[in-house]
Amino acid sequence: MNGLKFLSYEHTHGTAFGAVVDDQIVDLSDVGPSLKAVLTTGPLDNLHAVVAGRKPSARLDQVVLHQVVPDAARIICVGKNYRDHAAEMGGEVPKNPNLFIRTPQSLVGHKQSIVCPTASVQFDYEGELAVIIGRGGRRISKDKALSYVAGYSCFMDGSIRDFQKHSFTAGKNFDSSGACGPWLVPSAQVPNPHALRLVTRVNGAVMQNASTAEMIYSVADIIEYISAFTHLEPGDVIATGTPAGVAAGRNPPPWLKAGDRVEVEIERIGILSNTVIAEVA
C-alpha cells in the first residue's frame, strides 16, 4: 500500500476521513471521527493494513474535499521565509521565524471556492508547503523535529494586502481567503521536505517557481522555534512561507479577481486548485 494519501471529505453524510487509493477513496471514518483524532492515536502507518482490507466507497470526483485538517486547533504560518520574497516585499530577512496565525474559517479545501472580498481589491496569492504535526511535543530539538511530522500538503496563503498593512491578523484571515489540500502525503513519502519544486499558477500562467531548498528557516528550525513557546499537538498545521513572485511584488500587481483559477503544485505532493469567486453582499 505504498503511496497512500489521507484526506478529509464530504460525501453522503457529514465530514469524513479516508485514504486515497489511485482515484478512489477508502472510508476510514469508523477508525476515528477525523484525521486529527486519528493522529492522536498513533502514526498513519498503522492504517495501511486497514486500507488494504477494504474496498473504495467513492471516487475522488464524487466528493467535496475539505481542508486537510478541518478541525485544526492551530494554523501557524511563517512570513518572509524566502530571501527573494523578503526582498520583493521591501523588508529585511527576519532574524528569527516570523510567525502569524490563521483561523480554520479562513481556509477551504481543494476545488472549493476562495472568496475575493468586497472590502479590498488587493487579494494576493501565496503558494506554500504545509506541514501537519503527527505527535505532540514541547521544546523539540532540531535534530528530532522531522520525526514529529505526520506529513505534508499544499497551502495557498491568500492575503488581503491593504488590510495587512494596518492589521496583519485581518489581512491574513478573511473568511475563505486561503486553502489547504488536497490531501496529506505521509512524511515517509517525502524524505526531504527541502528538495521539492513549488509552482504557483494563476489562470495557467506561472507566477511562483522555486525550490523549498530556498527556505531561510527549515521545517526543523520552525518546529524547534514554535515548540519553544507552545506544546505542538497532532493536527496542528504549519505553513512554511512563500517564495518570490506574489502579486504585491509585481508592477502592476496582478491582484486576484473573480473567475481566476489558482493552483499550487508541489513535487511529490500534488496540486491544490481553487477558483476565485466574488463575495456575496
- For residue 116, the 8-state DSSP code is E
93 vs 87, 211, 221, 229, CA distance in Å? 8, 18, 15, 22
Would you state the pLDDT for residue 1?
Answer: 44
Residue 225 cell numbers, joined: 522555534
Distant-in-sequence, close-in-space partners of 49: CB < 8 Å, separation ≥ 6:
1
Asked if 57 and 81 sit in the same domain, the reply is no
CA dist 192 and 212 (Å) reads 10
The DSSP result for 168-203, as a single string, is HHHHT--TT-EEEEEEEEEGGG-S-TTS-EEEEEET
Instruction: Give per-residue pLDDT as tens, 23-33.
Output: 999 999 999 88
Would you state the pLDDT for residue 2?
Answer: 56
Number of domains forming the structure of the chain: 2
Phi, psi of 84 (to 5 degrees): -65, -35
Of 42, 65, 88, the residue that ends a domain is: 65
Would you state the pLDDT for residue 67?
Answer: 97
Would you state the pLDDT for residue 13?
Answer: 77
Q: In CATH, what number is assigned to the domain containing residue 235?
A: 3.90.850.10
Would you state the pLDDT for residue 42?
Answer: 83
Residues 135, 99, 263, CA angle at the centre, nearest 5°? 80
The whole domain housing 153 covers 75-278
The average confidence (pLDDT) of the chain is 95
Would you state the pLDDT for residue 14?
Answer: 82
In a domain, 140, yes or no: yes
Instruction: Give per-residue pLDDT as tens, 169-214.
Output: 999 999 999 999 999 999 999 999 999 999 999 999 999 999 999 9
- For residue 221, the 8-state DSSP code is H
CA dist 216 and 166 (Å) reads 26
Q: How many Cα neighbours within 13 Å face the side chain of 147?
A: 6
Asked if 59 and 79 sit in the same domain, the reply is no
Instruction: Give per-residue pLDDT as tens, 77-96.
Output: 999 999 999 988 887 888 99
Instruction: Give per-residue pLDDT as tens, 138-174.
Output: 999 999 999 999 999 999 999 999 999 999 999 999 9
What is the pLDDT averaged over residues 97-109?
A: 97
Instruction: Give per-residue pLDDT as tens, 33-79.
Output: 899 999 998 889 889 999 999 999 999 999 999 999 999 999 999 99
Asked if 242 and 199 sit in the same domain, the reply is yes
CA dist 247 and 236 (Å) reads 28
Q: In the chain, pLDDT over 70 holds for what percent of residues? A: 99
Asked if 26 and 122 sit in the same domain, the reply is no
Q: Which amino acid is at 175?
A: D
CA dist 187 and 202 (Å) reads 28
120 vs 113, 124, 175, 256, 270, CA distance in Å? 17, 11, 13, 11, 30
Q: CA 61 from chain center: how many Å?
A: 21
Asked if 24 and 131 sit in the same domain, the reply is no
Asked if 92 and 36 sit in the same domain, the reply is no
Would you state the pLDDT for residue 93?
Answer: 86
